[in-house]
Amino acid sequence: MGSDTTRPLAGKAILITGAGTGIGRAAALAFAEAGASISICGRRLSLLEDVAAQARAFDVPVRFRAVDVADETAVQDWVGDASTAFGGIDVLANCAGTNAPERTWSNTTMESWNELIATNLTGIFICTRAVLPTMRSQHNGLIINVSSMAGVHPSTVSGVAYGASKFGVVSLTGSLNLEEWTNGIRATVVCPGEVSTPIMDKRPNPPPPQARAQMIQPEDMGATLVFLANLPPRVVVEEILIRPTVRSF
C-alpha cells in the first residue's frame, strides 16, 4: 500500500519543546495534523493541556508534561517517557525560547542573562543530549533547533543575551552535523526573522497588530518544521533563513 499523503508522518514519534505557545504550539499541531505521535513540553501545564486537546482532534497519540528545559532531570524523565511510550524518537524540535524587555548592554542584568542562556541555549543542549542515545541506537534521527535571524546577524532589537544565545544555537547545530552524521543523525537550525508570537510582548516597544499581521506567523513555522521532518534520511538541510517579506518593524 502507498503512504497516506494526508498523514505523511504517521508512525513517527516527535518531541516538541516550548509547545504551550508560539512556534512550539504551531509545530505541535502541524505535526499532529501530519499524523505523527507527539510528546510536548513547556513550563505551563494549562497551556499544554489545551494544545494536547487540539492535537488529539487529529486522532494521534499525544503526551504532555510541564518541563523546564534547563532542568536536566526533568528533561531526561520527559524524553524517557516518550521513548518508552512511542518505541523510539524520530524528531526533536527545540522550540523553547524567551527574551526580556531589558536587553541592552546598559540594562541587561546577570539574572536576565542567566535565564535567557539557560532557556535558549543550555536547554537545547540538555534536550538534545537526552535524545542522542535513542537516536544513535536507531541509527536515525532529526533534531530541529529554532534559532533566530539574530543568531546570524547581531541585532539591537533582539538584544545582547538573546543574540548571544541564538548564535550559540547555530554553532550547536553545526557541531551535531559534524559529529553525529556517522550515527545517522541530522540537525537543522531554523533562523526566522520576526515571528508574531507572545515573545513580541517582551519588546520594550511591542509592535502594533498591523505590524504583527505582516510578520511570519507561527503556522508558517509549523509548516517549515513539518517539511523538514518529511525529508528522507539521505538529506540534511543544515540551515534555513526565513524573513517576513516586509522588513520595517
Report helix, strand or coil for 190.
strand
Q: In what order do the strands lie in the sheet with 37-42?
A: 62-66, 37-42, 13-16, 91-94, 141-146, 185-192, 239-242
The angle subtended at Cα 8 by Cα 4 and Cα 12, nearest 5°, is 120
**C-alpha cell, 180:** 553525529
58: left (phi over 0), alpha (psi -120 to 50) or beta: alpha
**CA 58/CA 79 separation, integer angstroms:** 22
State yes or no: is 162 an active-site residue.
Answer: yes
**CA 200/CA 186 separation, integer angstroms:** 30
143 secondary structure, DSSP code: E
Q: Which one of 162, 165, 193, 199 is the catalytic residue?
A: 162
The residue to which cell 508534561 is assigned: 65
**CA 74/CA 89 separation, integer angstroms:** 17
Q: What are phi and psi of 91, to 5 degrees?
A: -140, 135
Residues β-bridged to residue 62: 38
Residue 175: half-sphere exposure toward Cβ, Cα within 13 Å: 10
Neighbours of 201 (CB within 10 A): 10
Provide the annotated active-site residues: 162
